[in-house]
């Protein structure tokens, strides 16, 4: 199964991202827009791995304290358009410890540097070809209280993400 560890967003953040996505469409931006239900922040991409229990065990070894997620800026990785997050040393430290636990257990993961972002569009294109002519980035924040292990399956209309398990304190504070 294809796995990744992520922070899922509350409705406040999802609403802000959805409104922004619609603004981009009105401005003539095209591409494969991420469906609302698939918007998340990836902390570790594992890929094909058939032992979710080992991943959950690694996740349970690192205490997840609630952390603020604040939208901040936009950018591109090639033709992938993303919304960024305000720098957060607490989140970066958590990801470092989480990835260390994955490595200790032999769980494979993508070792690229953690660059917190929310993928909004794949195959980005705009009508005038100028990336600078986009609307101001969305604002919004939330308090994340848990981290989820997610499974990714290919459906007839794109990817379907399903939570396998989570660590943290579900429902404590979503602000």
pTM, whole model, 2 decimals? 0.91
CA distance 107 to 2: 13
Tens-level pLDDT at each residue, the chain (175 residues):
999 999 999 999 999 999 999 999 988 889 999 999 999 999 999 999 999 999 999 999 999 999 999 999 999 998 999 999 999 999 999 999 999 999 999 999 999 999 999 999 999 988 766 666 677 888 999 999 999 999 999 988 888 999 999 998 765 444 4
CA distance 157 to 159: 7
What pLDDT, on a 0 to 100 scale, did the predictor assign at position 128? Answer: 66
Expressed in angstroms, the distance from the first to the final Cα of the chain is 33
What pLDDT, on a 0 to 100 scale, did the predictor assign at position 137? Answer: 84
Burial class from Cβ neighbours inside 10 Å (0-12, 13-18, 19+) for residue 26 reads exposed
Contacts of 85 (CB under 8 A, 6+ apart): 41, 69, 70, 71, 72, 91, 116, 117, 118
What pLDDT, on a 0 to 100 scale, did the predictor assign at position 136? Answer: 82
* C-beta separation of 55 from 30 below 8 A: no
What pLDDT, on a 0 to 100 scale, did the predictor assign at position 133? Answer: 66
């Amino acid at each position: 199964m294809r796995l990744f560890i992520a922070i899922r967003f509350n409705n406040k953040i999802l609403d802000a991202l959805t409104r922004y996505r619609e603004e981009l469409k009105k401005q003539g931006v095209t591409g494969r827009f991420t469906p609302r239900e698939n918007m998340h922040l990836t902390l570790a991409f594992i890929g094909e791995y058939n032992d979710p229990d080992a991943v959950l065990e690694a996740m349970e070894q690192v205490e997840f304290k609630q952390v603020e997620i604040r939208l901040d800026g936009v950018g591109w990785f090639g033709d992938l358009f993303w919304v960024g997050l305000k720098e957060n040393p607490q989140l970066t430290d958590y990801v470092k410890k989480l990835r260390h636990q994955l490595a200790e257990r032999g769980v494979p993961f993508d070792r690229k540097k953690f660059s917190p972002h929310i993928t909004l569009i794949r195959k980005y294109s705009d009508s005038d070809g100028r990336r600078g002519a986009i609307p101001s980035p969305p604002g919004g924040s939330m308090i994340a209280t848990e981290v989820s292990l997610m499974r990714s399956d290919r459906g007839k209309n794109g990817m379907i993400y399903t939570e396998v398990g989570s660590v943290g304190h579900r429902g404590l504070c979503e602000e």
